[in-house]
Structure 1
């Protein structure tokens, strides 16, 4: 979509394109009444696999009316149709962890990862408590807030999310022959095997995400795939053949323990979110780390300002 004057619900004006996703495009916008920035998602009405309405309805279920109960989940201001598009207006947030990872030279310090992981576990616990799984946990889908919320890590992009509890609060049934859903780099072993996803898969994807942020990369990135080979199968084989001890070499042992724990969760088992938050808080204490929200990118920005 080219840049043009476009006003949503006679209130939200598109300013500039911020990025694209499987659903469509995201724009920076302005609330012309309150003069504050918002993010505006546009999805073509005729797109093959519409996601925006489902995402809007999920945000409604997550947020409800009590703002204080969902730190790290974006506020939603409008959903509807404008011209050829489905439109979702939401909080304008800061950069993603993937963006900040690149800015910081593609590696985060232990301190930064521990401060983030403490919040990431909270976000998963909250979403799971509402009966949903995310199904695309990765650094790109964790976004830092703006202004007074710039220290808060938000979980976004619920386009692939689904219920794992039915209307009677019963866990969905185990099933197989599913397609891989999400991002192969961070996909759980069971996701690769075509097994129905549940809470354990979000947790395993989180483990890969934080190991990636500490290591700088994962061994199954950039694999050469010969003609006729299946890329997903090759990634799966690499994940299986690399011992956890090797994957987490030079990291505190708790990260390897966390990955092993996630891989061994039963299909309908509730993860021990608080237990692992406590474990990683102990890792912080053992390394004299204080959760002061002085992330790597904050330190880098300060250093760059001093050079000017």
Structure 2
């Protein structure tokens, strides 16, 4: 992440002595995203630019849209935070309320898709300005990806990115929620149906959505023991691995036995020679 003065920004500026800025491809509350091209290799990268005048460049504000929800941005903590889920990468986050007036952003159309097409809301595919409902819908797709391992609109073949996004959009709109969530608890389809029913500026009923899954959690007789599949797998892997200290001890024991056998052979050989 580089800092910059927006008044002096040029499209051909060199950043970090390695990348040439090409064009602006996105923006959020905390900076702009530019397409950068490596001077040496020609590789394309995304570069986040922040104004040097910002008092707290990384400070996150209330009233923000995430807009780029996908599975890779959910991380589990480590150590004493191993039971906490962390959401990272707010580079394309955007306020949905004006910080002065507190009014909701205006409804707009003909917007470019921001975020990952796999998890984007249907309205985002249609070019409609994103709001809170879109983040919630995207979260639903992330959960179903975790459940299923793959979503129906993955693996679409196309000649270019635009055509691929169109195919993903068509498949997403033509796949009934009940089909997407088939084989899983009804709460997942209830969640997605609710999110898709929200109006542009409507506040989601977060308490209702949390309760959906809290009740499901209890219905399935799960416990808040903070033991997850991956922690159990890690324990099994650790238990199945041989203990180096134990192996070393066993090797020492074998060596001692070999030495004892050699001594016995030497003694036996000496007695035979004396008897002759």
TM-score of the pair, normalised by structure 2: 0.68
- CA deviations on 1:256-285 (whole Å, 9 max, x unpaired) are 010111111110011111211111010011
Distance apart, 1:53 and its partner CA: 2.6
Superposed counterparts of 1:58-77, under 5 Å: 59-62=58-61
Distance apart, 1:142 and its partner CA: 1.0
Who is 1:5 aligned against?
none
Q: How many corresponding residue pairs?
A: 202
1:289 aligns with 2:222: yes
CA distance in 1, matches of 2:161, 2:81: 48
**Which among 204, 220, 235 is matched to residue 302 of structure 1?**
235
Distance apart, 1:248 and its partner CA: 0.4
**Which among 130, 133, 150 is matched to residue 217 of structure 1?**
150
Residue 52 to residue 246, structure 1, CA distance change in 2 (3 Å): same
Who is 1:141 aligned against?
73
Residue 43 to residue 286, structure 1, CA distance change in 2 (3 Å): farther
Q: Which has the higher contact order (CA 8 A, sep 6+)?
A: 1
1:184 aligns with 2:117: yes
Who is 1:208 aligned against?
141
Who is 1:232 aligned against?
165
Residue 44 to residue 211, structure 1, CA distance change in 2 (3 Å): farther
- Secondary structure, aligned partner of 1:169: coil
Distance apart, 1:223 and its partner CA: 1.2
CA RMSD after TM alignment: 2.5
- Unaligned 5+ segments in structure 1 are 1-22, 25-41, 63-129
- CA deviations on 1:141-195 (whole Å, 9 max, x unpaired) are 1111122112111111011111110021100000000000000000000000000
- CA deviations on 1:64-123 (whole Å, 9 max, x unpaired) are xxxxxxxxxxxxxxxxxxxxxxxxxxxxxxxxxxxxxxxxxxxxxxxxxxxxxxxxxxxx
Residue 296 to residue 273, structure 1, CA distance change in 2 (3 Å): same
Who is 1:51 aligned against?
48
- Secondary structure, aligned partner of 2:97: coil
Superposed counterparts of 1:1-308, under 5 Å: 47-48=21-22, 49=34, 50-53=47-50, 57=56, 59-62=58-61, 130-167=62-99, 168-226=101-159, 230-308=163-241
CA distance in 2, matches of 1:43, 1:208: 40
Is the contact between residue 133 and residue 164 of structure 1 (CA under 8 Å) also seen in structure 2? yes
